[in-house]
A and B are shown apart, each in its own frame.
Chain A
Amino acid sequence: MPPAIELRRVRKTFGTKVAVDDFDLTIEPGTLVGFIGPNGAGKTTTIRMIMSIIFADSGDIHVLGKTSAVESKDRIGYLPEERGLYKKMKVGAFLTYIARLKGMDATGLDRKVRGWLERAGLGDCVKKKCEELSKGMQQKVQFIASVIHEPELLILDEPFSGLDPVNRKLLREMIHEQHAMGRTIIFSTHAMFEAEQLCQRVLMVNRGAKVLDDTLQDIWRKYDPKAVVVEPLTDAPDLLAPAMREIAGVHEAVVTRNAVELRLTDGADSARVMAEAARMTTVRRMELKRPNLEDIFINLVGGSAEAIRAELADLNGAAAAQEASA
């Protein structure tokens, strides 16, 4: 079976700005890939090139074994970042129209549209005009529009932006269902925790270049910070730190807000360190620290780490604010 998506040395410039630079990518069928990176990293441009909506300056793109998505448009579902509906069109009619454009037969289409709307909690909206729906409801309709024709490959550009936590959860479930049915899914986001929650594989881009491309498991292993976090139940962390520093295999004990972070030497036995630490105090929580994508990302991008951290904080703040207001 050919890869679902294959990009070879793809490059795209807008005027003097390089949006995507020498991009290589292979996505195997059936995988769920998170495509992450800050705003302006080249995510949407890459996705649009995969969709043959815009064309690369150089390089090869293969989608579902064809040289262009144009030839397999009916087998691809696409939720664009910039999304819209016909304001005056009825929700049911819109979905039917899109499904017809995607090459679906009329037989059973009505039932299918209704089924999907029920699934998304929009059962009573079939006859409503698109403009009567709230923004979150419209987004769900758009998601349905991208999956209604049962595509083999699903490309979702920022599917979670603007959704409240309940709808985020619903959408996550629906994406999981699609994945369970064996479909290849690639979704982009600038909120990295979404990717951590959802995907098997992470693709990280910055300034048009790929900075990371691996499974989540491998990323966690590779970027294992080799640290144990100990949160004592009653004892003050700063008092415990000097003693814990002496445990074999620990080369540093850093006091954080209400815990001690034990950085381990290479080859240290983390299980033994944890057992030792547990003997010293009653623990509320103890864990082998897991790297998070945000830290990895900042680590990888290096130089301008501070700037990016600020940017990410902004983005997450904005996402949180959006959620709060939703």
Chain B
Amino acid sequence: MNKMMWIAWREFCTTVFTKGFLLGVVMMPLMLVVVGGAVVWMKNFSGPRIQGTVAVIDQSGQVAPRLEERFSPDFEKKEAEELAARVQEEIKKSEAAQAAMALGGPQAQEQTKAAMEQATKAGPEISLVVLPRDADVEKEKEPVKNASIKRASEDGSKEEGENRLALIVVPPGAVRMEGGKFEQYQAFFAQRLDGEVQQKIQRRVSDSIVDARLETDERLAQAGLSPREVRELIARPWAEAKTLTPGGEKKALGELTMLIPMAFMILLMMSVMTSGSALLTTTVEEKSTRVIEVLLSAVSPMQLMTGKILGQMGVGILILVVYAGMGVGSVAYFLNRLDLVSGASLAYLGVFFLIAYFLFASMMAAIGSAVNDMREAQTLMTPVMMVMMIPWMIWFVIQRAPNSTVAVVLSFVPVTNPFVMVIRLSGSEPVPTWQIPVAIGVGLLSVVGAAWAAAKIFRIGALMYGKPPNFATLVRWVRMA
């Protein structure tokens, strides 16, 4: 027993106290934070501003003035200010964002302010050109065809001549109802014009048209309603959703709840895979450097294998605890929603980690002992990895319908069983109670079977050199001993 612990301890130390492992475990979450931060930061850089004109042929005669107003620099400033105010308001309301700001200190606040200024400033520089009512549409399309998506030069100097990015044609019927319906306006855009810019132009046009409609309709005047009142009446109401929990009301998180089962599965997969493949590497190393024979003169093959498996289990648990701790910590700190991760689901994660780990580790120990080098191991690894990948491929299906036939069946199939169960148990839909002990039972049985076979393969394989074995050979070894 003591010897086994020594083997386990060495196994743990040689895996954990390496630059590669420490970098991997520490760097991974750090990278996530950096990449996540970078994406948010880069969104502030919308690139140099697009410069050009939007031409409008307003056949109704009602829309152009309103459109001119919307394209005026004053309007843009006002819009930006409103946006900034709304963002500030949101930040004040949201504890999470405040926490993040507090965490970042004055620097973060400064950055946010700068980013906001950037956002309000960086809109496309588009001016409106109002063409005569009777302008020839076909002829006016020509400049749009030849438009180039130019960026404003750094010094702000303007290009000579008009760069027409869009042509808008508003027929009279768009404002005044004819035969019970409105006519549509037409919009022509230059090639490769950014989708967001197109939407912005369209939004302004349609807002202007609605304004024109409201102001020209006599029925409103008769009813004593101002266009502003009508707009307020038809504005779509929106409520901030709350989730009711025994602990009180919480802000609804929608998609985030969906991500939790996935996070659990990734956690399980990552810890099992990392420690399992480390086990394979060390076993192959011991085999190929022939240290294994020295070890076997001191301990029995069974002690060696068990010690190694236990040592790497420590590695897996370390990864699991570090990442799960970080995950739970950030859910608790930033979202204040610790209720999303129940103690039971964490306990099940632990149980199924052990099942998945012992299963995978047994296979890795068997493969590692049977081959002469890493390359040979890859050949035997391929089918194992393919089976392991099944939960990856169908996690979405299982998470969407945790009690579907596929999910239930895969819960009782060895190898996929711990992963599928973790997805199901950490989701929101309850799993029938009887399935949990059955799944754990299936898992334990598969672990016992795999460990038994691995022990037999390990005993023979550890001292077998030469021709790399295939699966048939492994099966024969299992039967032999």
Contacts and interface: CB of A to CB of B under 8 A. Distances in A.
Nearest to A77: B297
Given A53-B293, A78-B294, A101 B463 contact: no
Interface string A151-187: 0000000000000000000000000000000000000
Contacts of A97: 6, 10
A142 B294 contact: yes
Interface stretch (B159-167, B283-291, B344-352): B283-291
Contact of B297 (A53, A87, A100): A53
Interface string B1-17: 01100110010001000
Contacts of B14: 86, 88-89
Contacts of B409: none
B310 to A, nearest CB: 15
A271 B20 CA distance: 76
A73 interface: yes
Contact of B293 (A73, A76, A82, A89): A82
A85 B298 contact: no
Interface string A68-108: 00100110101010111111110000000110111100000
The size class of the interface chain B forms with chain A is 20 to 34
Contacts of A70: 300
A211 interface: no
Contacts of B292: 84
A246 B6 CA distance: 74
B298 A80 contact: no
Contacts of B291: 84-86
B290 A101 contact: no
Interface in B73-98: none
Contacts of A84: 286, 289-294
Contacts of A100: 3, 6
Nearest to A86: B291
B406 to A, nearest CB: 45
B285 to A, nearest CB: 7
Query: Which of A70, A73, A85 lies at the interface centre, i.e. has the most chain B CB atoms within 10 A of its CB?
Result: A73
Contact of A76 (B3, B297, B299): B297
B296 interface: yes
A89 B291 CA distance: 12
A53 B6 contact: no
B457 to A, nearest CB: 15
A100 B285 CA distance: 21
Contacts of B298: 73-74, 98, 101-102
Given A48-B463, A73-B299, A103-B3, A80 B293 contact: yes
A82 B294 CA distance: 9
B313 to A, nearest CB: 19
Contacts of A48: 463
A156 B296 CA distance: 15
B295 interface: yes
Contact of B296 (A53, A74, A89): A53
Contacts of A145: 294
A113 to B, nearest CB: 15
Contacts of B294: 78, 80, 83-84, 98, 142, 145-146
A86 B285 contact: yes
Given A85-B289, A86-B285, A86-B289, A54 B463 contact: yes
Interface string B256-297: 000000000000000000000000000001100111111111
B36 to A, nearest CB: 35
Contacts of A76: 297
A87 B291 CA distance: 10
Contacts of A98: 294, 298
A56 B300 CA distance: 16
Interface residues of A, number: 27
Interface in B133-192: none
Nearest to B295: A101
Interface string A44-80: 0000100101100000000000000010011010101
Interface in B288-325: 289-300
Contacts of B465: 82
A82 B465 CA distance: 11
Nearest to A131: B289
A80 B297 contact: yes
B463 A53 contact: yes
Nearest to A100: B6
Nearest to A48: B463
A80 to B, nearest CB: 4
B7 A101 contact: yes
A87 B6 contact: no
A82 B296 CA distance: 12
Contacts of A88: 14
A88 B300 CA distance: 24
A26 B299 CA distance: 25
A101 B6 contact: yes
A20 to B, nearest CB: 15
A283 to B, nearest CB: 52
A48 B299 CA distance: 14
A246 B206 CA distance: 137
Query: Which of A53, A74, A76, A98 lies at the interface centre, i.e. has the most chain B CB atoms within 10 A of its CB?
Result: A53
B10 A83 contact: no
Contacts of B293: 53, 80, 82-84
A284 B46 CA distance: 103
B289 A87 contact: yes
Contacts of A85: 289, 291
A53 B464 CA distance: 11
A30 B149 CA distance: 95
Interface string A110-134: 0000000000000000000000000
B290 A82 contact: yes
Interface in B441-477: 463, 465
Nearest to A142: B294
Contacts of A101: 3, 6-7, 295, 298-299
A161 to B, nearest CB: 14
Contacts of A86: 14, 285-286, 289, 291
Listed from nearest, the 7 A-B pairs whose CB atoms lie closest are A84-B289, A84-B290, A78-B297, A101-B298, A80-B293, A82-B290, A84-B291
22 contacts: A51-B296, A53-B296, A73-B297, A74-B298, A76-B297, A80-B294, A80-B297, A82-B293, A83-B290, A83-B293, A84-B291, A84-B292, A84-B294, A85-B289, A85-B291, A86-B285, A87-B289, A88-B14, A98-B298, A101-B3, A103-B3, A145-B294
Given A86-B291, A102-B298, A142-B294, 11 more contacts: A54-B463, A73-B298, A82-B290, A83-B290, A84-B293, A86-B289, A101-B3, A101-B7, A101-B299, A103-B2, A146-B294
Interface of A: 48, 51, 53-54, 70, 73-74, 76, 78, 80, 82-89, 97-98, 100-103, 142, 145-146
